């Protein structure tokens, strides 16, 4: 995830189990662009042992092909094309989710990328721009070019991040395509992940925001699938995760600047504090110094109570996940 799941975050996640695969933040591609050096480091210095996909986003097929060729020289699990980003700036340039309005352009871009990528080539998509009725035509394009995997953030671009996801769209993709299908969106705990996967029969899950809030989630899912008892993280575990992330990020900064660093931590902390009390979030938003930051974290987290398994349903950063907690989800 842009500006969050960088190399320091990957290291911290891997120490807590981590996923089977990572995907980089997206590389923005335009004519004559070169791969972003900071993101490249998450490939070159990835010593977690977890393979990583390089994700690209852009609107110019020729530029996408030449960037993909440069990235193919790196040690990557494959190239992933982003067709899901809903940012108005990105969509305004007909990139990311914006491209879903132009299936013919996607057809051309994917065709050219497929011809140039001899290894794994996967796509991350939403189920349409305005409406899910656009999805079957998009799936036809993905099928035509024999992509190696499809991750579905089962919302439209218009839905952004707030609505429930649409598991029936994942099921449709499984019917129409032969490649592995990965379900994404609203996996906020192990129960939601198991229900989403079982209901859709998807080959796997991609987890974004849920893993920022609960970095043990990948291991918890493995425990659920292998019938083992599930690790329940405590507040003190969370404190140690925050300390670890702070130290990793500080070590990566060329020059440690306290104020800048606190701002960077806040981006991640806003996901972490959901459900830990309004007061924690209120004060977190106002933190200025390292001392204030850790004093606040220790006040709220220096104890062994288990953490809440789910965030509040109507929190600003997690919502619409209630359906996935119901095992009989439609
Ligand atoms: C801050 C932020 C940055 C994101 N950046 C990316 C990105 O670079 N590439 C991508 O494929 N998806 C990106 N996403 C979307 C997530 O990967 C994911 O599809 C979406 O948040 C829904 O899944 P979740 O509920 O597990 O978070 C981003 C999401 C957020 C909130």
187 lines ligand 1 (CB under 6 A): yes
24 lines ligand 1 (CB under 6 A): no
Tell me how far the alpha carbon of residue 299 lies from the centroid of ligand 1, in angstroms.
30
Protein residue with least CA distance to atom 19, ligand 1: 153
> Nearest Cα to 307, choosing from 188, 218, 192?
188
Q: 7-214 maps to which CATH number?
A: 3.20.20.70
pLDDT at 263 > cutoff 70: yes
185 lines ligand 1 (CB under 6 A): yes
Band of pLDDT at residue 238, cut at 50, 70 and 90: very high
* Mean pLDDT score, 259-282: 93
Pairwise CA distance, residues 96 & 313, whole Å: 28
55 lines ligand 1 (CB under 6 A): yes
* Mean pLDDT score, 293-320: 94
Protein residue with least CA distance to atom 7, ligand 1: 1
Q: What is the pLDDT of residues 149-183, one digit of tens each?
A: 999 999 999 999 989 999 999 999 999 999 999 99
Taking CA atoms, 244 is separated from 87, 241, 247, 272, in Å, by: 30, 5, 5, 14
pLDDT score of 314: 79
Asked whether 275 and 312 are in contact (CB, 8 A), the reply is: yes
Q: Which residues are CB-contacts of 66 (< 8 A; sequence separation ≥ 6)?
A: none
Protein residue with least CA distance to atom 26, ligand 1: 208
For residue 145, the tally of other CB atoms under 10 A from its CB is 17
Tell me how far the alpha carbon of residue 88 lies from the centroid of ligand 1, in angstroms.
15
Pairwise CA distance, residues 269 & 289, whole Å: 14
35 lines ligand 1 (CB under 6 A): no
pLDDT at 193 > cutoff 80: yes
3-state secondary structure the chain: CCCCCCHHHHHHHHCCCCCCCEEEEEEEECCCCCCCHHHHHHHHCCCCCCCEEEEEEECCHHHHHHHHHHHCCCCCCEEEEEECCCCHHHHHCCCHHHHHHCHHHHHHHHHHHHHHCCCCEEEEECCCCCCHHHHHHHHHHHHHCCCCEEEEECCCCCCCCCCCCCHHHHHHHHHHCCCCEEEECCCCCHHHHHHHHHHHCCCEEECCHHHHHCCCHHHHHHHHHCCCCCCCCEHHHHHHHHHHHHHHHHHHCCCCCHHHHHHHHHHHHHHHCCCCCHHHHHHHCCCCCHHHHHHHHHHHHCCCCECCCCCCCCCCCCCCCHHHHCCCCC
Protein residue with least CA distance to atom 13, ligand 1: 1
Protein residue with least CA distance to atom 10, ligand 1: 1
- Mean pLDDT of the chain, nearest integer: 96
Q: What is the pLDDT of residues 62-97, one digit of tens each?
A: 999 999 999 999 999 999 999 999 999 999 999 999
157 lines ligand 1 (CB under 6 A): no
pTM attached to this predicted model: 0.97
Band of pLDDT at residue 252, cut at 50, 70 and 90: confident
Structure tokens belonging to residue 252: 């990566």
98 lines ligand 1 (CB under 6 A): no
pLDDT at 279 > cutoff 80: yes
Asked whether 311 and 213 are in contact (CB, 8 A), the reply is: yes
CB burial of residue 73 (10 Å; 0-12, 13-18, 19+): exposed
List the beta bridge partners of residue 79: 54, 121
Tell me how far the alpha carbon of residue 151 lies from the centroid of ligand 1, in angstroms.
12
184 lines ligand 1 (CB under 6 A): yes
Pairwise CA distance, residues 111 & 152, whole Å: 19
* Mean pLDDT score, 127-154: 98
pLDDT at 316 > cutoff 80: no
Q: How far is CA 139 from the centre of its chain?
A: 21
pLDDT score of 330: 64
Band of pLDDT at residue 256, cut at 50, 70 and 90: confident
Protein residue with least CA distance to atom 6, ligand 1: 1
220 lines ligand 1 (CB under 6 A): no
Q: Which atom of ligand 1 is least distant from the CA of 25?
A: 8
Every domain of the chain and the residues it spans:
7-214, 235-301
Given CA atoms 148, 152, 153, 155 in this order, what sign does their dihedral have? Answer: positive
Protein residue with least CA distance to atom 31, ligand 1: 209
pLDDT score of 291: 96
pLDDT at 310 > cutoff 80: yes
Q: Which residues are CB-contacts of 277 (< 8 A; sequence separation ≥ 6)?
A: 300
pLDDT at 254 > cutoff 90: no
Of 327 and 221, more confident? 221
Q: Could you give the strand order of the β-sheet that contains 22-29, starting from the edge strand earlier in sequence?
A: 22-29, 52-58, 78-83, 121-125, 149-153, 181-184, 204-206
pLDDT at 325 > cutoff 80: yes
């Amino acid at each position: 995830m842009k500006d969050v799941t960088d190399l320091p975050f990957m290291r911290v996640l891997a120490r807590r189990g981590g996923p089977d695969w990572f995907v980089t933040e997206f590389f923005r591609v335009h004519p004559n662009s070169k791969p972003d050096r900071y993101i490249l480091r998450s490939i070159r210095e990835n010593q977690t042992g977890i393979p990583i996909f390089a994700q690209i986003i852009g609107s110019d097929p020729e530029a996408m092909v030449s960037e993909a060729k440069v990235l193919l020289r790196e040690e990557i699990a494959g190239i992933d094309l982003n067709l899901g980003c809903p940012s108005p700036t990105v969509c305004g340039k007909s990139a990311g989710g914006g491209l879903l309005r132009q299936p013919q352009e996607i057809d051309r871009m994917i065709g050219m990328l497929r011809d140039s990528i001899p290894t794994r080539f996967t796509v991350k998509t939403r189920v349409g721009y305005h409406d899910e009725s656009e999805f079957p035509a998009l799936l036809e394009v993905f099928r035509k070019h024999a992509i190696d995997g499809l991750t579905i953030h089962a919302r439209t671009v218009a839905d952004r991040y707030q609505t429930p996801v649409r598991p029936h769209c994942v099921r449709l993709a499984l019917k129409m395509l032969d490649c592995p299908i990965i379900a994404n969106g609203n996996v906020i705990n192990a129960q939601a992940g198991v229900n989403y996967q079982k209901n859709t029969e998807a080959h796997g899950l991609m987890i974004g925001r849920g893993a920022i809030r609960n970095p043990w989630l990948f291991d918890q899912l493995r425990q659920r699938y292998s019938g083992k008892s599930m690790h329940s993280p405590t507040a003190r575990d969370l404190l140690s995760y925050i300390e670890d992330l702070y130290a990793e990020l500080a070590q990566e900064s060329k020059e440690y600047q306290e104020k800048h660093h606190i701002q960077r931590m806040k981006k991640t902390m806003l996901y972490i504090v959901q459900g830990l009390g309004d007061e924690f979030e209120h004060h977190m938003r106002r933190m200025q110094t390292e001392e204030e930051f850790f004093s606040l974290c220790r006040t709220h987290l220096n104890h062994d109570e288990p953490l809440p398994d789910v965030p509040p349903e109507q929190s600003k950063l997690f919502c619409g996940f209630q359906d996935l907690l119901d095992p009989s989800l439609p």
